[in-house]
Amino acid sequence: MRLAELTYEALAERLRLGPVVVLLPVGSVEPHGPHLPLGTDTLISEAVVLRAVTRLAERGIDALVAPAVPYGVTDYAQGFAGAVSIEASVLTAFVRGVVTALLGEGFAHVCVVNNHLEPEHDAAIRAATEGLGARASVACPLTRRWGRTLSDEYKSGACHAGRYETSLVLASNPELVCEPKARLLPARTTSLSRGITSGERTFAEMGLDQAYTGAPAEASREEGEDLLVRLAEMVTVEVSEALAGT
């Protein structure tokens, strides 16, 4: 499944046999409460694309997983340790360089899979694929089409390191979740989407003194597995539609 684990001969043979799609996971390095790792968004994207490869194969589409882009625009987390933010223009240029290089290698399509939901970050990722037509796509739950398929907490906007993301990491990398801390965190109802719309620019301005909102104590591996299936379907459909020219 992983591009980085193939030899050049194995990849050349794979490309010779037919069209191959490559999935590019994107995330961030930023705080996710006292119970989740800094790389949560990247871990989620990687887990999603691994499941999407199998779903694409069921549709007769050969796909590989490229090494992830683990940095992003994380301005809302400024002031917390581990908020490693890069400029949007730098992210756009880098991701576009990776996408065009992959296309230049002979891949039929590149799908950038993003689970870091900061608006400026999402815009930077989408800008990286502009003008590439059906050769590139972006799969991200920020779009209404896919966001409405996810959990109630996600749709409320109170979902940074809450039940939604904690469940996803429990399903994909349970060893990286500090469950004793998660179970002690009180539920918070601060909606990031409403805060962003109202002009608040940081977690601190929104009152998120521990860099989380939502209900991490209610997270479960079962819910995370269900969410991964939904997010993998998002990737599968985006790729399938792009290949079909729709």
Angstrom distance (rounded) from CA 131 to CA 138: 13
Chain position carrying tokens 């977690």 = 203
Phi, psi angles (nearest 5°) of residue 132: -95, -5
Per CATH, is 3-244 categorized as 3.40.50.10310?
Answer: yes
> What are the residues facing 21 on neighbouring strands?
63, 109
Indicate the DSSP class of residue 131.
T
* Boundaries of every domain in the chain: 3-244
pLDDT at 246 exceeding the cut of 80:
no
177-221 pLDDT, tens digit per residue, is 999 999 999 999 999 999 998 899 999 999 999 999 999 999 999
116-125 pLDDT, tens digit per residue, is 999 999 999 9
35-75 pLDDT, tens digit per residue, is 999 999 999 999 999 999 999 999 999 999 999 999 999 99
192-201 pLDDT, tens digit per residue, is 999 998 899 9
145 SS3 class: helix
* Sheet with 20-26, side-by-side order of all strands: 62-65, 20-26, 109-114, 136-139
